[in-house]
Amino acid sequence: MPIAEQASSLSSKTLDLTWVRSQFPSLAQTVHGQPAVFLDGPGGTQVPQRVIDAIADYLSRNNANTGGAYHTSRNTDRMIAEARQAIGTFLNCDAEEIVFGPNMTTLTFAMSRALGRELGPGDEIVLTLLDHDANFSPWKALEEKGVVIRAVKFNEADCTLDMDDLAAKIGKRTRLVAVGYASNAVGTINNVAEVVRLARQAGALSYIDAVHYAPHGLLDVRALDCDFLVSSTYKFFGPHMGVLYGKREHLKRLRPYKVRPNTDNIPNRWEWGTLNHECIAGIKACVDYWEELGRRANPAVATRCAAIMTAHEAIHEHERKMTEKIVAGLLAIPGLRIYGITDPRRFEERCATFVVRIAGHTPLELATKLGERGFFTWDGNYYALNLTEQLDVERLGGFLRIGLVHYNTMEEVARLLTALREIVG
């Protein structure tokens, strides 16, 4: 059942920000006497104390390999099963459809290699120029097998995907459409439901990169009906790991390169070698955090699933308010250009991730000056290389990226705007 139907219609949308911030010990840090302001969420979010505790607890008490006939190994097996179940609930799929891996990029290379075994000259893969390179290069590598890559353009004025171009590029020979849920640079949220539909209509598979979207919006693979969806837990308040959802039929049918002792059961046939058990323990704690966030927003929610959806609703409201404030404030800074959607009527089409350039200042200079004042932003291309190249900012140091997530505050936004105004002079 889609998660949306399971959530109570009574859900309140209030984020308990004081509680939220108390959960993240790193947020209390200072830099040169100034409170640290974490605007680097798109590069990796901070983790709540319970994630840190779960990692430490696993290493202190249950550190073992899997499949052994003794206490700590059995505890490890149980813990991994629970974490798989938890992330399955988070994405709304079965636990056996979840594959753990080191990060999204590695999982995507693994999947491109397996899918590539079935492809040959004349087969086509549709990619987009808005995507992070991790959802581009692993597929482009299949050109060596004669696969044809068709890259979808984006509209430069607002950095949205050119859906007409996408529809035109999907055809009879398309085998896979790989698209990002949201851009980790310009923040655009793509109409992935439509992309999935177009792919299916053409008999192609859909592969969704949900790394950037995960901290901002609900992921429901059943409702989306995508074939694959991949994300990284360190972008949504968990440890440095990747997770891949694959429809059961595909995980069973496709042929991964694997070692012989891996069984042919799913997901075991996709998980080679020893996983990062302590981080997997942290993933379960991360989903627990999401659940508690939702239950605090609405104590009446009945299920874990509904709590996660309520958490997203509360986050959405908060991020929306911060988006309104920051976009208005940024646009008032002389010489500043925001790349991406700036019209408040269209804010539902973007995440609270902003890239800017300011005349007369390089992104590195701005990030460095902000960093000295305790604001953690990013400069460069963040591997959204096709985007920075097409917008011709790659040779100019890319953009300054300011990424807001739910633990950021309106007050932090106000302080950032003041600092930027002072730096620009």
Ligand X SMILES: Cc1ncc(COP(=O)(O)O)c(C=O)c1O
The type of residue at 33 is G
Distances from the Cα of 89 to the Cα of 29, 53, 85, angstroms = 33, 22, 6
Closer residue to ligand X in complex, CB, 46/232: 232
Closer residue to ligand X in complex, CB, 76/190: 190
Minimum CB distance to ligand X, residue 235 (Å) = 7
- Stretch 165-194: interaction string toward ligand X, x if CB under 6 A: ---------------x---x----------
Closer residue to ligand X in complex, CB, 132/316: 132
Asked if 211 is part of the footprint of ligand X (rule: CB under 6 A), the reply reads yes
- Segment contacting ligand X (CB under 6 A): 4-12, 69-77, 132-140, 402-410? 132-140
Asked if 232 is part of the footprint of ligand X (rule: CB under 6 A), the reply reads yes
- Segment contacting ligand X (CB under 6 A): 20-28, 62-70, 204-212, 296-304? 204-212
Single out the residue of 26, 103, 155, 268 in contact with ligand X (rule: CB under 6 A).
103
Single out the residue of 48, 242, 282, 397 in contact with ligand X (rule: CB under 6 A).
242
Q: Which two tokens stand for residue 380?
A: 């460069």
What is d(CA 177, CA 355) in angstroms, rounded to the nearest whole number?
26
Asked if 132 is part of the footprint of ligand X (rule: CB under 6 A), the reply reads yes
Distances from the Cα of 326 to the Cα of 34, 35, 120, 329, 373, angstroms = 20, 19, 48, 5, 18
Closer residue to ligand X in complex, CB, 123/131: 131
What is d(CA 311, CA 342) in angstroms, rounded to the nearest whole number?
25
SS3 of residue 175 by DSSP: strand
Asked if 350 is part of the footprint of ligand X (rule: CB under 6 A), the reply reads no
For ligand X, how many residues bind (rule: CB under 6 A)? 14
Single out the residue of 134, 176, 243, 336 in contact with ligand X (rule: CB under 6 A).
134
Minimum CB distance to ligand X, residue 209 (Å) = 5
- The shares of helix, strand and coil residues in the chain, as percent rounded to the nearest 5, are 50, 15, 35
Q: Which residues contact 243 (CB under 8 A, 6 or more apart)?
A: 87, 91, 98, 99, 100, 101, 107, 230, 231, 232, 233, 283
Asked if 105 is part of the footprint of ligand X (rule: CB under 6 A), the reply reads yes
Cβ neighbours, 10 Å, residue 396: 12
Minimum CB distance to ligand X, residue 272 (Å) = 17
Closer residue to ligand X in complex, CB, 127/297: 127
Closer residue to ligand X in complex, CB, 240/369: 240
Minimum CB distance to ligand X, residue 63 (Å) = 24
Closer residue to ligand X in complex, CB, 214/338: 214
Q: Which residues contact 26 (CB under 8 A, 6 or more apart)?
A: 36, 38, 46, 47
CA angle, 296 then 302 then 304, to 5°: 70
Closer residue to ligand X in complex, CB, 123/379: 379
Closer residue to ligand X in complex, CB, 53/133: 133
Single out the residue of 97, 209, 220, 271 in contact with ligand X (rule: CB under 6 A).
209
Asked if 239 is part of the footprint of ligand X (rule: CB under 6 A), the reply reads no
Closer residue to ligand X in complex, CB, 125/306: 125
Q: Which residues contact 159 (CB under 8 A, 6 or more apart)?
A: 130, 183, 186, 188, 339, 340, 341, 387
Asked if 275 is part of the footprint of ligand X (rule: CB under 6 A), the reply reads no
What is d(CA 207, CA 205) in angstroms, rounded to the nearest whole number?
7
Asked if 104 is part of the footprint of ligand X (rule: CB under 6 A), the reply reads yes
DSSP-derived letter for residue 198 is H
Query: Which residue, among 210, 222, 196, 208, has the nearest Cα to 4 in the 3D structure?
Result: 222
Helix intervals (H) in 202-352: 221-224, 248-253, 277-297, 304-331
Asked if 128 is part of the footprint of ligand X (rule: CB under 6 A), the reply reads no
Kindly list the residues in this chain that would bind ligand X in the complex (CB under 6 A): 42, 103-105, 132, 134-135, 180, 184, 209, 211-212, 232, 242
